[in-house]
Structures are given as C-alpha cells and as structure tokens.
Amino acid sequence: MASVEITGLRKLYGDVVALSDITLTIPSGAFYTLLGPSGCGKTTLLRTIAGFHAQTSGQIAVDGAPIETLPAHKRDVAMVFQDYAVFPHLSVHDNVAFGLKQRKVDKSAIKTGVAEVLDVVQLSHLADRMPHELSGGQQQRVGLARAIVVRPKVLLMDEPLSNLDAKLRVDLRAELRRIQRDLGITTVYVTHDQEEALAMSDIVCVMHGGIIQQAAAPLDIYLRPANRFVATFVGANNFLDVDRTSGGAVLRSGGADVAARISAEGPVTCAIRPEDIHAHPPGTAIDPGRIVLAATMREISFLGREMEIFAVTEAGEEIKAVARPDPAIVALPPKSPVTFTVDPDALSFFARGGNGDRLP
C-alpha cells in the first residue's frame, strides 16, 4: 500500500504539450482511473510514473519519497500493457517467475510466490502451457500475474482489457477489481471507456488536452460534472441554450422560466441527461412543478430494455430522451407533437463560453 503524489508535472514532445501542469493525489490502496479521449495524455502520464521516459518538469512521490529521478527498475512500480507483453518462448509459470529470478529470489521462494499469484489470477491449472496455447483473456491474466508477483507498491495498467471481446471485458473487469481489492494495491488504470471507468474506480480522473478536467468519485463525475467537456464525455447530455431576459433567464426551447436557478452573469447553457427527460403522449396532464418542453418527434428506437426518443424543440434544438418502453410513445408517428418534462433539480448549468465551467 502506498500513496502517489504528483505535483506540477509537465511533459513536452518537441512542441507538443502532452501533459500540462498535472497535480493529483492517489490515496493508498485506491483504484484510480485516467479517463479521456485519444491523445489526451493518459499513456504519457502512466509512462512518466513508471519512469519509461523523463518528465519535462514536476515531481512524483510515492509515500512521500520523490521517485521522478530514479530509473524505472528502482521505482517499485509495475505495469500491465494493452498487448499482454508476455514472453512467447516461456511457459506461464516461467513468465510469472521471470521478475523474481531477475531479483535473485531463491528457488523455493519463487516456487511459492508464483503458485500464490497463479492462484490469485486463477491460472494454476495452466501453469505449464505456452502463451500461444492461451486465450487473450488468459494471456492478460499472465500479464497481470507477472506485474503483481514482485509485489510492487504501485500497479499501472494501460487499457489492459481493450484487446478482448465485449463479454470477456466485462467479466475480467470485475475480476481485476476483486484482485486489486484483495491485494490492496494502489492502482492507476487507463481507459477511454467511460463505463469501465465508472464501474471499476474509486476515483475517476477525466483528462483532455493534457489537462485534468475533474478528479472525483464516479457518482460525482456523473451527477456533478465540473465543466461542459466532462458533461459531454461521461454519459450523454442534452445542451439547451438559456436566453437572458430583463427579468432573469428562460430556456429558449420551452419558454420555461429558469431565472431562480442561475445567478451567474454571461451566456449560459443548460444540460439535461436523457434519462431525466420524460416524454408524455398528447393530452396527458402535466404536473405544474415540472419544466415543460414542447417538441416534435423525429424518431424512436425501441431497444428492448429501453427506448430512445429523438425530437426537435420549437427553437430547433435536438433532444434525446431515454426511458422504459411506453407503448403510447412508441406508437407515435414521426412529426407528431410530444411534450417533454424535466424535474427542475435535474438541470445543470454551464458557462457557454471559455472552459464551459459548471455554474453553482
């Protein structure tokens, strides 16, 4: 168990700013996930922690001790890669034993160490197989076993599940988390899959353009995104412009008065999650406490467990709603009028310009 503290970390590749002033704290034993689109700097940050390349500036400390100038093999940090990185000419057992042999651990300790770790990743029965006789999921478990057998203080994983098919990815997701919890090992995990990040992590750190946008518990990231980028990248959101009037502000789409809810100056956008928008067939009585948006139906996708409704408001803004299938809605033909309502508490507000920061 070890905490990781990163301060003012910066990494340039020529003119490319891959990491810009990264400051973060990873509590001891946490499962900490770096989430963001391609090119946002996730791998660069992981490799900088591992010591595979030097930072341009900044500090990295493990349990308070600076490591940023140590060579990779002295950092007590292990990494699991996307493409397994197992030795093809060594058996499962020998692959896992490799790191211990390098550290000159004696034979009997290697034997028990490897047996223990193979048990953790549930590969004991395949110890004598060669890598080409294993499935992708089994090879990735070998990769994980190789990393944890040396008992590193920090485990780094760069998209370890992305080469696996969807079903296996979900199975292995739960298992990785179980193993991480059992060992209590501080873990930095990289993914661009938001569902994976939300499902596995204690803390999700959303990155964009080499900058941390928000680091928080999964539920906070989802319910209280710090800016418009996070609100768009994690889950889906509808953005509706809010117009200023002399008396306050209104939602342009429905004319609903949202004056009481925003005090900030300047142009504002309102965000509503698709699952917070309820569709009502024509003629339904509407609860007066709800915000009403009148719209025209464009298309409905019936997906079994849920239906997706695509519509356009009177102001021409596109709206997506998601709900349990309702026969009265599914039956509505395109271009029919539909009334949407939203609980006022479900609205979030963001500045329309600049960084699109969340407004209180």
Q: Is 205 in the site for ligand ATP (CB under 6 A)?
A: no
> Residue 279 touches which of Mg ion, ligand ATP, none (CB < 5 to 8 A by kind)?
none
Q: Which helix (H) or strand (E) holds 350?
A: strand 348-351
Q: With respect to Mg ion, which residue has the nearer C-beta, 190 or 277?
A: 190
3-state secondary structure of 144: helix
Contacts of 231 (CB under 8 A, 6+ apart): 225, 237, 271, 348, 350, 358
- Using the minimum distance from each CB to ligand ATP, give the nearer residue, 10 or 290: 10
Distances (CA, A) of 145 to 49, 111, 130: 20, 14, 15
State CA 7 to chain mean position distance: 22
The number of residues that bind Mg ion (CB under 5 A) is 1
Member of 111, 129, 177, 192 binding ligand ATP (CB under 6 A) = 192
Question: Considering beta carbons, is residue 13 or 87 the nearer one to ligand ATP?
Answer: 13
Specify the residue, 68 or 159, whose C-beta has the smaller distance to Mg ion.
Answer: 159
Interface residue with ligand ATP, options 10, 21, 27, 39 (CB under 6 A): 39
41 is in the binding site of which of Mg ion, ligand ATP, none (Cβ under 5 to 8 A by kind)? ligand ATP
In whole angstroms, the minimum distance from the beta carbon of 42 to Mg ion comes to 5
Binding of ligand ATP by 38 (CB under 6 A) = yes
> Using the rule CB under 6 A, is 10 a contact of ligand ATP?
no
The least CB distance from residue 288 to ligand ATP, in Å, is 47
| Amino acid residing at 198 | L
User: How many other C-beta atoms lie within 10 A of the C-beta of residue 308?
Assistant: 15
Helix (H, G, I), strand (E, B) or coil at 234: coil
Q: Which residue has the tokens 């490319």?
A: 16
CA 150 to each of CA 51, 78, 110, 213: distance values in angstroms, whole numbers, following the listed order: 17, 8, 10, 34
Q: Which amino acid is at 203?
A: I
Establish if 18 lies at the interface with ligand ATP (CB under 6 A): yes
Q: What is the DSSP letter of 73?
A: G
Pick the piece of the chain touching ligand ATP (CB under 6 A) from 33-41, 65-73, 133-141, 261-269.
33-41
What is the pattern of x (binds Mg ion, CB under 5 A) and - over residues 34-53?
Answer: ---------x----------
Piece of 36-44, 69-77, 171-179, 301-309 that binds ligand ATP (CB under 6 A): 36-44
Is residue 159 within 8 Å of 140, Cβ to Cβ? no
Q: Could you tell me which residues come within 8 angstroms of residue 184 by beta carbon, excluding any fewer than 6 positions away?
A: 1, 29
Residues in contact with ligand ATP by the rule CB under 6 A: 13, 16, 18, 36, 38-44, 192
